[in-house]
Amino acid sequence: MLHETIGANLDRTVARYGSRDAMVDLRTERRWTYDEFDADVTALAAGLLARGVRTGDRVGIWAPNCPEWTLVQYATARIGAILVSVNPAYRSHELRYVLNQAGVSVLVSARMFKTSDYGQMVEAMRSECPALVSVYYLGSSEWDSLPVDGRAALKQNADMVADIASSLSTDDPINIQYTSGTTGFPKGATLSHRNILNNGYFVGELCGYDERDRVCIPVPFYHCFGMVMGNLACTSHGAAMIVPGPSFDPAATLHAVQAERCTSLYGVPTMFIAELDLPEFESFDLSSLRTGIMAGSPCPVEVMKQVIDKMGMVEVSICYGMTETSPVSLQTRPADTIEQRTATVGRVGPHLEVKIVDPIDGDVLGRGTPGELCTRGYSVMLGYWEDEGKTAEAIDADGWMHTGDLGVMDEDGYVAITGRIKDMVIRGGENIYPREIEEFLYTHPDVADAQVIGVPDANYGEELMAFLRLREGAPVIDGDDVRKFSAGKLAHYKIPRYVVIVEEFPMTVTGKVRKVDLREKALKLLGRR
């Protein structure tokens, strides 16, 4: 394990790989070597210190993917300020809640992103956030002056940042990431240097990273996938962070891979599906790819096979985790079989433990028996920010994080995720795991993606409803078509009673399907029946 802070780890990387690429931003065509990256991070850290930011202060960042996001991430880590990652999809009421709940005193924000006027929203609710002292808009003169003031301060005291850095502990909180909040107000998972630095490092180790790797990161920085599995995995190995754009665009992502000769590509399954579906997909030179990570939601087997066969990512890794565990607990390895890398989410990561327990009584279950997945080790968060009650609900007295996910472990320690406890459908006493049905429906030649939920039923308690997104140009199919396709292949009680064709699924900013929205839509549809 790495027994150091993020800043100390970056120092070691800079000393070893200073002249190599650290970060490339395709949209603005800007590049940093590790020496240049370190200089800009230190100047920004000094600028924040000069403006009164101190260790333990909460500094929020509300912006899409851009180099400035990463600079703020490492500058705050250098001085022990706690970075509060704000979801780019938030609106005023969500932003106000997070800023007040975390006690954010400094906010770094984009002015605009897509149709969102961040500046207008910030100014409209600024008076309602008593802790908020300063707002710096990216591209403004106030923002530009921060590193300028920092460099001037460093001329007066060259050791001002180093002195703060030397006083920090690896167990200090360094990041607050808010959960999606689909079942209530979002909770702030509080993560330490030890949590996220080691997790990024071990994810990179299991991907085989070294200083020659170039990692394309189209996943959001505000989320662990981007800032930990992406940025920290790179900087802990001297690899290059390649930023294809402010938000996911399939063509821009593949262009970045081609232009920068990326060796690794990240994404959730829906991102890889979009890339593979591009009409011009065959025109991209992806021969530099050898690995990558597919995570964030269950990965359809067929998509995984196409990523290996068509994109050349023969060592592609599946990762499983959650924000509260920094995030990765389970990961496949490059030497794993295709079966292990498609049917499971791998085995436990270094220095971590996992177990499968009965969701009701907590007893440990045997291999092959489904139950709730729990994990323990260095990756488990410090707790939810200022919420001891919710922390105690999630982490038990023995330090086990209860994930809320249903999984089953085989004899070799590989875990398959079968769904969420709250997503499990009970139809006439039969437990049904939607993912199994989704995987099956994906094999239909006309189906591009499938999502299955349970809906109320007077006779059976619950019935299955399948939302299907069809392949471009495919004929419209209905429930009868799905039932004919499923007959003799699925048990009768697993065949969806209702089938709904949709153009797209409601998504979170990280690419996860919002099943809570599908359930609301389902109830409206059933009501009209």
Beta bridge partners of 214: 240
Domain made up of 425-528: CATH architecture:
2-Layer Sandwich (3.30)
d(CA 371, CA 362): 9
Please report which helix (H) or strand (E) contains residue 309, including its range.
helix 301-311
pLDDT in tens, 124-154: 999 999 999 999 999 999 999 999 999 999 9
Contacts 24+ apart (CB under 8 A), 251-257: 251/278, 251/280, 252/26, 252/218, 253/216, 253/218, 254/278, 254/281, 254/284, 254/286, 255/26, 255/284, 256/26, 256/216, 256/218, 257/216, 257/284, 257/286, 257/288, 257/289
Question: Per-residue b/e over 498-522, b at no fewer than 16 CB within 10 Å?
Answer: bbbeeeebbebbbbbbebeebbebb
Q: Tell me phi and psi for residue 425, to 5 degrees.
A: -105, 130
The CATH number of domain 346-421, selected from 3.40.50.300, 3.30.429.10, 2.30.38.10, 2.40.50.140: 2.30.38.10
pLDDT at position 528, please? 59
The predicted-structure confidence for 155-183, as pLDDT tens digits, reads as follows 999 999 999 999 999 999 999 999 864 44
Burial string for 152-165 (b: 16+ CB within 10 Å, else e) reads ebbeeeeebbbebb
3-state SS string for 144-211: HHHHHHHHHHHHHCCCHHHHHHHCCCCCCEEEEEECCCCCCCCCEEEEEHHHHHHHHHHHHHHCCCCC
| pLDDT > 90 in the chain, percent | 83
Q: Which of 384, 485, 478, 452 is nearest to 102 (CA)?
A: 384
Q: Give backbone dihedrals phi and psi of 130, rounded to 5 degrees, phi first.
A: -60, -25
Rounded Cα distance, 152 and 47, in Å: 9
Stronger pLDDT, 386 or 426, i.e. the higher one: 386
Percent of the chain with pLDDT over 70: 98
Q: Which residues lie across from 264 on neighbouring strands? A: 215, 291
| Euclidean distance between CA atoms 450 and 467, whole angstroms | 6
How far is residue 403's CA from residue 421's CA, in Å, rounded to a whole number?
Answer: 9
Please tell me the total number of residues recorded for the chain in this structure: 529
Instruction: Give the integer Cα–Cα distance in Å for 350 and 202.
Output: 7
Flag whether pLDDT at 351 surpasses 60: yes
Residue pair 269/298 in contact (Cβ under 8 Å)? The answer is: yes
Question: Above 50 in pLDDT, residue 301?
Answer: yes
Handedness of CA 231, 233, 234, 238 (dihedral sign): positive
pLDDT in tens, 308-338: 999 999 999 999 999 999 999 999 999 998 8
Cα distances from 251 to residues 245, 272, 278, in angstroms, run 11, 11, 7
Indicate the range of 40-54, 418-432, 439-453, 508-522 predicted with least confidence.
Answer: 418-432
| Dist CA 176 CA 386 (whole Å) | 11
Q: How far apart are CA 519 and CA 529, in angstroms?
A: 15
Nearest to 522 by CA among 435, 425, 431, 440: 425
Provide the β-strand partners of residue 384. Answer: 189
Domain ranges of the chain: 346-421, 425-528
* Res 185: pLDDT: 73
pLDDT attached to residue 449: 94
Q: What stretches of 289-341 adopt beta strand conformation (E)?
A: 291-294, 317-321, 328-331
Tokens 């019935």 belong to which residue? 463
The mean pLDDT of 57-76, rounded to a whole number, is: 98
Of the given ranges (30-34, 426-430, 442-446), which has the lowest mean pLDDT? 426-430
Rounded CA gap, 341 and 335, in Å? 9
What's the angle, vertex CA 309, arms to CA 348 and CA 217, rounded to 5? Answer: 60
Rounded mean pLDDT, 467-471: 96
Q: Which two tokens stand for residue 268?
A: 């959730």
Q: Residue 230 has what pLDDT?
A: 98
Q: Say what the pLDDT of residue 182 is.
A: 42
What is the per-residue pLDDT across 183-227, written as a single tens digit (0 to 9) for each?
Answer: 457 899 999 999 999 999 999 999 999 999 999 999 999 999 999
pLDDT band at 300 (very low <50, low <70, confident <90, very high): confident
Average of pLDDT values for 505-516? Answer: 81
pLDDT tens profile 359-383: 888 999 999 999 999 999 999 999 9
Tell me, what's the pLDDT at 180?
A: 64
Q: pLDDT tens across 223-268, in order? A: 999 999 999 999 999 999 999 999 999 999 999 999 999 999 999 8
For 378, the token pair is: 């260095």
- In this prediction, residue 183 carries a pLDDT of 44
Q: Average pLDDT in the 25-41 region?
A: 98
- Choose among 319, 337, 317, 318: nearest CA to 328: 319
- Kindly state the average pLDDT of the residues 87-116: 93
Instruction: Specify the 3-state DSSP secondary structure of 525.
Output: helix
Q: List Cβ neighbours of 312 (8 Å cut-off, separation of 6 or more).
A: 286, 287, 289, 290
CA angle (446 as vertex; 444, 448 as ends), nearest 5: 85
Q: 331 forms bridges with which residues in the sheet? A: 319, 347
Contact 467, 502 (CB under 8 A): yes
Separation CA 88–CA 372 (nearest Å): 31
CA distances 70 to 14, 97, 221, 278, 505, Å, are 16, 24, 8, 29, 30
- Three-state DSSP class for 141? helix
Contact present, 231 and 201 (Cβ < 8 Å)? no
pLDDT of residue 492: 86
| CA–CA separation, 528 and 197 (whole Å) | 51
